[in-house]
Amino acid sequence: MLKQDLHDLSTYRVEGIFWVPGYNDFDIDYFEVKAFSKKQAEKKAKMHWMYKLAKKPPAITKLHNQKITL
C-alpha cells in the first residue's frame, strides 16, 4: 500500500534574492511551484523565468497548512 501523500501535488515556495529589472537592483522575492516531490520542485523552479535572475541558488521549502479561513 502506497502512502496517499506521494500522489498529492504539494506547493513549494522558492525564495531568494532576485534581480528586478524595474528597480535595476536586487530584491528578496519568491514564487511558488506545484510538484510531487522536492526534487521535481527543483526542476520546475529551474525552468521558471525568475530563477535565471537569482543572485545565488534560492531556497526551496514545502508549504504546509495552506488553508486560510476568515
| Residue 24: how many other CB atoms lie within 10 Å | 7
Question: Domains of the chain by range and CATH?
Answer: 4-62 (3.10.20)
What pTM was computed for the model?
A: 0.77
The span from the CA of 43 to the CA of 4, in Å, is 22
Instruction: Report which of residues 62 and 70 the model is more confident about.
Output: 62
- Per-residue pLDDT band for 64 (boundaries 50, 70, 90) equals confident
Per-state percent for the chain, helix, strand, coil, to nearest 5? 25, 40, 35
- pLDDT tens digits for range 1-50: 455 555 678 999 999 999 988 889 999 999 999 999 999 999 999 999 99
